Structure formats: C-alpha cells, structure tokens
Copies of this chain bind each other. A is one copy, B any other.
C-alpha cells in the first residue's frame, strides 16, 4: 500500500461528497450560503470524515449511509472554526493562508454562516434516514428498524460530542482558561472535549453505522480519545516549533492569546514523549479488532507525527 496515493484517493472522494452535500448558492439567502461554502471549501485535512470512513470500513461498512454523516462532521468542525475566529473569540483574520469567514464576509455573516453550518450538519445527517426504506419493500421490518436504530444512535453521538458535553464545553473551558494559571486536570478536560470529542464522534459513528457491537464502539471511543490528545499535543508542539509558511497561521498564536499549552506546562521533550505513548496506546486498541485497517493505522500515525 502506498499511503500517500491511498490518502489522496480518499481525499478526492471526500471532496466530492462535501460538494454534493453543500447547499446551492441561490435565493435571497445566497450570501450566508456562499459564506458557508467558502468556509468548508477553504481546505483542510478532512481528518474527521476520513477517520469516520475508515472506521466504518474497518467494521465492514460498505453502503452510502455514511456519506451524509461524513459531510455533517466536517460542517460541524468548520462552523467551530468560523465562530472561533470571530473578533470576540480568537480574533483571527487568516486561517490556512486565507481570510477567515468573518474577515471575508463581515462579522454578522460570520455568526450566521457558523449557525447555518451547524444547523445544516444536522439536516444533512438526518437525510440518512431516507436510505433506510429506500429499497421499497426489499427489506424486512426488523432490518428497517435496525437501520433506524443505528442512525438514531449516530445522531445522538454527533449531538453529544459536538455540544456542551463535547466540543462546545471544551471551547468554554478553553476561553475561561485564557489569562489564568490552570492545572493539569483542566488542560486534560479541555483537550478531551475541545479536540478529542469530534474525533471520537467520527470514529464511533463509523463503527455504529457499520453495525459494530457496543463494546467495540466503546473501544473505538477510547482509541479516538488518545488520538485526539496526541493530535492536540502535537499542535501545541508545532505552535512553538513550526513556521508561518508551513502552518499557514502565525506561530505562537496560542501564546498571543495567553492560552496555556501542553508545551508551556510540561516542556517540549515531555510533550513529544507523551505523543509517542498515546499513539502507541491508540494503535494497540485498533489492533484488537477482528479486522485491521492498515490505512487507518498509517493515517493515525501520520496525523500524530505531522510536521504541519
């Protein structure tokens, strides 16, 4: 397997899915739709939909029910960036070398585009229900009910991990941590909710929609939690050691906002060690399932060890 070739194949698939699910830019509300699409299509690693797809495949999933959820998780990730960049939040004018949404469309449209994306994420995920009864009588009732049950469970996970018991909760704690001395427990809480939660949602939803048993969904949640932490610690490392050219955003941007980071708390060498430990632990969990997904394993390692 050539990892980079395989990765670019998946990236192409994901971009096509995103474009298919994004709303058309028409009507009197066109501006907010343009701002939404601008935000989603501004680029990114598409990490979350890719992890979702690969987790789905690892548990034997093959059908299209996963696609609206792949689009939805990327919309949620994107809206969180759009609102995070607002003047009242991190006040960032550039992201990935492009103007942020509020910088390009004005602050009011930045707020509405974020709201629009969050709402549209749930709308999009709900379209998965239409696939349950699509085959027109070819399925038995208990199979149909199992289909509904899986999508309902996936929606529940999406909502919980994106909301106040997930990402929004982490952002709240993160904002309140600025300009303060915080302890290790609180930094841990912030990493878990702000970064890991959506990665957990991605991988869990993949597993649930493929029909994985509950104990496997729990294990995938644990693996994803570790992947998210390692990813965030690496982010903090890169914030110190990277360069503007490579990262597409100012280095030391967290320091600028007086936010505590893993590196300021533990030092660079301990941070690097912990990334290593967490990624090894995540790998071990992934290798306990009946089927391995070698691409998923390489993907996780590449994310954790990334240089940008």
Contacts and interface: CB of A to CB of B under 8 A. Distances in A.
Given A111-B86, A115-B114, A173 B29 contact: yes
A122 interface: yes
A214 to B, nearest CB: 15
Contacts of A160: 123
Contacts of A181: none
Contacts of A142: 141
Contact of A116 (B79, B148, B152, B164): B164
A89 interface: yes
Interface stretch (A30-38, A220-228, A244-252): A30-38
Contacts of A33: 164
Nearest to A175: B108
B152 A126 contact: yes
A148 B156 contact: no
A16 interface: no
A100 to B, nearest CB: 14
A200 to B, nearest CB: 15
B27 A169 contact: yes
Interface in A106-151: 106-112, 114-116, 118-120, 122-123, 126-127, 129, 133, 141-142, 144-145, 148-149, 151
Nearest to A115: B168
A164 B32 contact: yes
A195 interface: no
A72 B127 CA distance: 19
B164 A119 contact: yes
Contacts of A159: 119-120, 122-123, 126
A171 B109 CA distance: 10
Interface of A: 23, 27-29, 31-33, 36, 79, 83, 86-89, 106-112, 114-116, 118-120, 122-123, 126-127, 129, 133, 141-142, 144-145, 148-149, 151-152, 155-156, 159-160, 162-165, 168-173, 175-176, 186, 189-190, 193
